[in-house]
């Protein structure tokens, strides 16, 4: 599935989570899926917790994050200052 079809799975509804990006109009925020992935959950674990979720929904969240990250800049501390 191409990125445009994937990103179309991400919607916003002002009545759900204050308009944050959600998956296919359901009450599951993109950020929640990304947080689960960042915490080390794999796709199978996430899918088992949300029976209506499809693998393409998880992929759509990653496409969304990738596109968002292209427009962000985070100032990281140089390694010498971080320790």
pTM higher than the cut 0.85: no
Query: Beta partners for 29?
Result: 22
pLDDT at 83 over 70: no
What is residue 35's predicted lDDT score, i.e. its pLDDT? Answer: 98
Q: What is the CATH number of domain 3-71?
A: 1.10.10.10
pLDDT tens track for 33-58: 999 999 999 999 999 999 999 999 99
CA distance 25 to 60: 13
Take residue 47 and report the two structure tokens written for it.
């899918």
Q: Categorize the per-residue pLDDT at 26 as very low, low, confident or very high, splitting at 50, 70 and 90.
A: very high
pLDDT of residue 12: 93
The pLDDT score that the predictor gives to residue 15 is: 93
Asked if residues 72 and 24 have their Cβ atoms less than 8 Å apart, the reply is no
User: Rounded to whole angstroms, how far apart are CA atoms 77 and 35?
Assistant: 23
């Amino acid at each position: 599935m191409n990125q445009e079809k994937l990103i179309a799975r991400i919607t916003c509804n002002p009545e759900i989570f204050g308009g944050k990006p959600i998956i296919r109009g359901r009450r599951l925020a993109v950020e929640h899926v990304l947080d689960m992935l960042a915490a080390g959950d794999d796709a199978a674990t996430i899918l088992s917790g949300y029976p209506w979720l499809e693998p393409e929904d998880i992929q759509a969240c990653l496409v969304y994050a990738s596109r968002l990250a292209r427009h962000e800049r985070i100032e990281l501390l140089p390694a010498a200052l971080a320790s």
